[in-house]
Amino acid sequence: MTTAETPEKFPVLYFGHGAPPLADDELWTGQFAAWSAELPRPRAVLIVSAHWESAPLTIGATTTVPLVYDFWGFPERYYRVTYPAPGAPDLAASVRSMLGGSGIPLAEAPARGLDHGAYVPLKEMYPDADVPVLQVSMPTLDPRQLFDLGRRLAPLREEGVLVMGSGFLTHNLSCVDMSRGPDHEPPSWSAEFDDWASRAAQAGDIDALLDWQNKGPAAAIAHPRSEHLAPLFVALGAAHQTTETARSVIDGFWYGLAKRAFQFD
């Protein structure tokens, strides 16, 4: 399979990133690999992960530094994974210009490497680690502020940058029973929220998604805290005014959590 021709505007992605054992899931890793093979080759990736909240918005490493193993209790082999993607100093300069020039306060964390919300899916999508990557923090969980952040970053799409939001469309670990295996039937709260969010995204109902706590079924159970849904709002903002709808490219559930992924062209 060959990559698509370079578009005038790169797509925007939102996906569930799983945990480190995602690498052992042949179905899901294959889905990520097939998806990336269909995407245009980016000049760089800008990624927002559910696992980095820091205010003001903080720009991560622009050189290749060690990964952030921000998880506990897994076998040692998961802490030996590497992903030496090149840094993206030019992309960082563009982010500073776009956001800092608008008066948005910024911070720098030059030693902060990619966390598992970034490198776990990227390792499946670009296994050669040959695409420059820049991670920035989420300065808030407020949906409309994140949407506005995405809108300000949208011009990067014209510079060959693939903007990614990495989270999980449903995320309540207190309700996950790992003993049942990754493929068991999802609980009703997860299935219902996934169905609602998928329909809203594919219909372009941005207002409903931004008001997810009031509009989404079983919202408080699907997301007791919203950090895994929050990257979707950045993606919605970055895609706004070029497309009003999403395309669902991965669906299904992993340990009962919705692993659905969207592409905004």
Question: What pLDDT does 1 receive?
Answer: 39
Helices (H), the chain: 26-38, 89-95, 116-125, 143-153, 188-203, 206-210, 212-215, 219-222, 230-239
Cα 120 to Cα 115: distance, rounded to the nearest angstrom: 8
Pairing of strands 161-167, 133-138: unpaired
CB burial class (10 A; 0-12, 13-18, 19+) of residue 234?
Answer: buried
Neighbours of 59 (CB within 10 A): 23
**Closest-CA residue to 125 (of 20, 251, 43, 32):** 32
**Closest-CA residue to 11 (of 232, 180, 252, 238):** 238
Question: What pLDDT does 245 receive?
Answer: 79
Pairing of strands 261-264, 247-250: antiparallel
Question: What pLDDT does 152 receive?
Answer: 96
Question: What pLDDT does 102 receive?
Answer: 81
Catalogue all structural domains in the chain, each as residue range(s) with its CATH number: 12-264 (3.40.830.10)
CA dihedral 150, 156, 157, 162 (to 10 degrees): -80
Cα 139 to Cα 249: distance, rounded to the nearest angstrom: 28
Whole-prediction pTM value? Answer: 0.95
**Closest-CA residue to 42 (of 85, 8, 96, 6):** 6
Cα 178 to Cα 192: distance, rounded to the nearest angstrom: 21
Question: What pLDDT does 2 receive?
Answer: 46
Measured at the alpha carbon of residue 59, what is the angle toward residues 73 and 53, in degrees to the nearest 5? 45
Show pLDDT as tens, one digit a residue, over the chain (265 residues): 345 667 889 999 999 998 999 999 999 999 999 999 999 999 999 999 999 999 999 999 999 999 999 999 999 999 999 999 999 999 999 999 999 888 899 999 999 999 999 999 999 999 999 999 999 999 999 999 999 999 999 999 999 999 999 999 999 999 888 788 888 999 999 999 999 999 999 999 999 999 999 999 999 999 999 999 999 999 999 998 766 679 999 999 999 999 999 999 9
Question: What pLDDT does 8 receive?
Answer: 85
Pairing of strands 253-254, 257-258: antiparallel
Strand partners, 113: none
Cβ(25)–Cβ(254) below 8 Å? yes
Cα 109 to Cα 62: distance, rounded to the nearest angstrom: 9
Listing DSSP states for 96-123 in one string gives IIIIITTT--EEE-TT----HHHHHHHH
